[in-house]
Structure 1
């Protein structure tokens, strides 16, 4: 199985980076092929330019990173997202990744009753996140944006069916043992 890791955190001493290192180590140990998209190190611009937006209806891009990321997505059947939950939702760079990379004709078509996803070859998506709020708080009081919007709307509209989400909530108050347990319980 080919795996694509989409990583979105600018600070290499973050717990998100520890998650990334753990995932890479697990994939290397199991001799799985994988590619890493590090959105910050790639200097990915999540905002559309007017030139690129003019190409939107045709599903085209002026951004070579978008083309590279689409090639990775075409040849993968497992995607792993690693990012922090900021203000109860995905960081802007993840939203921009979806906006710019998941283009019409590549990732979906518009049908009479909605979107028809083209990424059905992706068998599995694993989402690994961190948050300052406890997970139960995000789910009950903050709208559960990761599950309701990112998973159940965005990814499913792209044709992806098997999605799991693991959040290390309450990260600021976590102990070394809590973080160790989270890393050891990551199931890819």
Structure 2
């Protein structure tokens, strides 16, 4: 199993970075994990801005040379792990900018007759590890589960990725947030995951 870890937080001295380290630690102790790569979008200085003009056309995004490295990384991986905070009920703009550019037509999906396109990323799986200041049930009770619906239904299922697991950790800025227990939960999951 090959893992691509996509880390989206602008600070390495943070709880999110500690979650990343626990994913790496658990994965390195798992004999089923053959290899892993880390893509740190902020450290990479990834440009999340979409540009469409005479030189950069939307229909050509799947062949844009500036995104070739990211397309290759994504295709290489069996499992993609996203680690990010939930801000304003959704992932950071940096991560959404990555998705906007990478998940282009003829790379992530192909239009066909009918209501839905054909997802081209079938066979891959995703894990979302997200943190938030508010309580864990806030997205479910207050936002009608918008975060999970956005990520699973509107994004991953659309491109053919059906296996999506979520770790949504709330109260992460509270002294009573059980941070150690949650970090251990993520570490143990990746230490034992089989596919």
TM-score of the pair, normalised by structure 2: 0.88
Q: Which has the higher contact order (CA 8 A, sep 6+)?
A: 2
Q: Distance in 2 between matches of 1:108 and 1:184?
A: 36
Give, in angstroms, the shift of residue 51 of structure 1. Answer: 4.3
Unaligned runs of 5+ in 2: 191-195
Measured on the aligned residues, the alpha-carbon RMSD in Å equals: 1.8
Structure 1 residue 77: Cα displacement: 0.8
Partners of 1:139 and 1:171 lie apart in 2 by 17
User: What's 2:137 paired with?
Assistant: 136
Where in structure 1 do 4 or more consecutive aligned residues deviate above 4 Å? none
Q: Please, what TM-score do these two structures have when normalized by structure 1?
A: 0.91
How big is each residue's C-alpha offset from its partner over 1:162-188, in whole Å with a ceiling of 9 and x where there is no partner? 111011101111437x11100111223
Give structure 1 stretches of 5+ with no counterpart. none
Partner of 1:73: 74
Q: Indicate conservation of the 8 Å contact 1:125/1:164, yes or no.
A: yes
Q: What SS is found at the alignment partner of 1:82?
A: strand
Cα pair 1:52 1:61 within 8 Å, conserved: no
Tell whether 2:58 aligns with 1:56. Answer: yes
After TM superposition, the structure 1 = structure 2 runs for residues 16-165 of structure 1, keeping only pairs within 5 Å, are 16-30=16-30, 32=33, 33-51=35-53, 54-60=56-62, 62=64, 64=66, 66-112=67-113, 113-122=115-124, 124-165=125-166
* Number of aligned residue pairs: 185
Q: Deviations over 1:98-121 (max 9, x none)?
A: 100111111101122122110003
Q: Do the aligned partners of 1:127 and 1:166 also contact (CA within 8 Å) in 2?
A: yes
